[in-house]
């Protein structure tokens, strides 16, 4: 799969429409078959990006006109290409560690019979 970036919410000044923060999530998953069970391996990171905008700028976009794509671009610009790559790497690492765990986090009585 590929990492999916999502905007969870925006914070904006009600009177000006100026967006000040974007809350984001980046996640990916893989499903593996294990006997009769499917196992979900997931990686996820989330955070917020503080947006500095100038309502007098020619390129200014107020809250009601911002699209998901614009907001995601702002987040990735705020983070920078190196940080975006690190986040995506952490997510891939989380999935790899889930697939080959060194610590078990489940109750044996809830496992059932594996075939």
Whole-number pLDDT of residue 103: 80
Question: Do 22 and 71 contact (CB within 8 A), yes or no?
Answer: yes
The pLDDT, as a whole number, for residue 4 is 97
Residue ranges in the chain modelled with pLDDT below 50: 115
| pTM for this model (two decimals) | 0.81
Indicate the number of domains in the chain: 1
> What is the C-alpha separation between 68 and 80, in angstroms, rounded?
18
Instruction: Tell me, yes or no, whether 40 lies in a domain.
Output: yes
Asked if residue 115 belongs to a domain, the reply is no
Report yes or no on 77 lying in a domain. yes
What pLDDT, on a 0 to 100 scale, did the predictor assign at position 114?
Answer: 54
Quick check: is 49 in a domain?
yes
The DSSP element (H or E) to which 4 belongs, if any, is strand 4-12
* Residue 28 to residue 45: CA distance in whole angstroms: 10
């Amino acid at each position: 799969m590929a990492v999916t970036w999502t905007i969870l919410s925006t914070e904006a000044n009600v009177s000006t429409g100026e967006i000040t923060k974007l809350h984001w999530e980046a996640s990916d998953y893989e499903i593996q078959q294990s006997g009769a069970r499917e196992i979900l391996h997931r990686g996820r990171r989330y955070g917020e990006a503080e947006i500095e905008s100038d309502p007098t700028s020619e390129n200014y976009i107020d809250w009601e006109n911002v699209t998901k794509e614009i907001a995601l671009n702002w987040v990735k610009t705020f983070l920078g290409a190196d940080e975006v790559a690190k986040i995506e790497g952490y997510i891939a690492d989380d999935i790899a560690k889930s697939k080959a765990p060194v610590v078990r986090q489940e109750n044996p009585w809830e496992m059932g019979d594996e075939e």
